[in-house]
Chain A
């Protein structure tokens, strides 16, 4: 199975900041990496698919880069509604696997 490792596990930030979350795969997954946002008590929501493609309706302050084994999710000009937990997920092969999550706190 492909292991996904996110860092950091949590971070504290302020409105208006830029944050970066890293996701590493245990083997090459090309660009088959997706990002999700989850708020307490809610289902995850797709933010970015295939490394850098913004899902419809997602603000442009979210961005994704990377390839192979290292990927990043960046959020510029952090907004109050962005405080949530973010997960990466590989879709290169089965089983689909997720990172452990990064909690973005105020």
Chain B
């Protein structure tokens, strides 16, 4: 069973950066891709970035271009997201989600981390 374990809650000041980790286990890494999704308080889900199987590259949400970076440490099976230039609008719960390929071009977020609350406040 795939498990995604995320780092703990963070409080940051405006203008700072935050780095959140997501350690995965229980699955062959090459058979899933890690994406990041955030959810502002009381709001919906916003996809931030992840592997695009159509071109084999990491895709980022356009509104986060230049501020958002995804990396991975394959030696520890840990994925990271870093968001810079934080504002109060970035206060949200950040989830890592494992997208699984179910065959026949079917992709879905089958596994989710528990979420990491990032609060941006002066």
Contact = CB atoms under 8 A, between A and B. Distances in A.
Majority secondary structure of chain B interface residues (helix, strand, loop or mixed): strand
13 contacts: A44-B95, A44-B97, A46-B108, A46-B110, A49-B102, A50-B102, A50-B104, A87-B45, A91-B99, A94-B59, A96-B50, A97-B47, A98-B45
Given A98-B46, A98-B47, A91 B110 contact: no
Interface string A66-106: 00000000000000000000010101011111111100000
Contacts of A95: 47, 59, 61-62
Contacts of B52: 94
A40 B6 CA distance: 18
A21 to B, nearest CB: 14
Interface residues of A, number: 25
Interface string B47-60: 10010101000010
B76 to A, nearest CB: 22
Most buried by A among B106, B107, B108, B114: B108
Interface in B27-63: 35, 37, 44-47, 50, 52, 54, 59, 61-62
